[in-house]
Amino acid sequence: MTPHPIIVRKLERRGDQRLVHVDEVVRDETIARVLSFDERTFIELERVFSAHPFSKRSASDDIVLFRSLDTPLGEARKFLGFLIVNGGSRRHVKIEASEEAFGAMKTVLDSWSARFKNA
């Protein structure tokens, strides 16, 4: 696993809120955040969590890492990239995201990057 990851810990539906629990890890310091996502992006992220692409490994050992922000040239669409890790196995997944979810993850990435640079 990446030594300094951004880990998506859990997804939570609380009333009409769709919450995403994220940990920014740099060295031995972790900052936990709870982000609010729109329904469409949250459903896409639920699909990432429910996908278990490793037939010979336990699904309970899957870890979902945030990996990237993507805005294809000439398109208004925005994407979030994730990496599902289990032992030595990896699977890259990309989902389309709303402007709000993309902005929330950009804030997390910017914070993590600044902390990593100063570590």
Report domain extents, the chain: 6-118
Helices of type H across the chain: 39-50, 99-118
Task: State the angle between helix axes of 39-50 and 99-118 in degrees (0 to 180), rounded to the nearest 10.
Answer: 60
From 86, 110, 105, select the one nearest 95 (Cα to Cα). 105
pLDDT value of residue 3: 61
Which residues of the chain fall below pLDDT 70?
1-4
pLDDT value of residue 4: 66
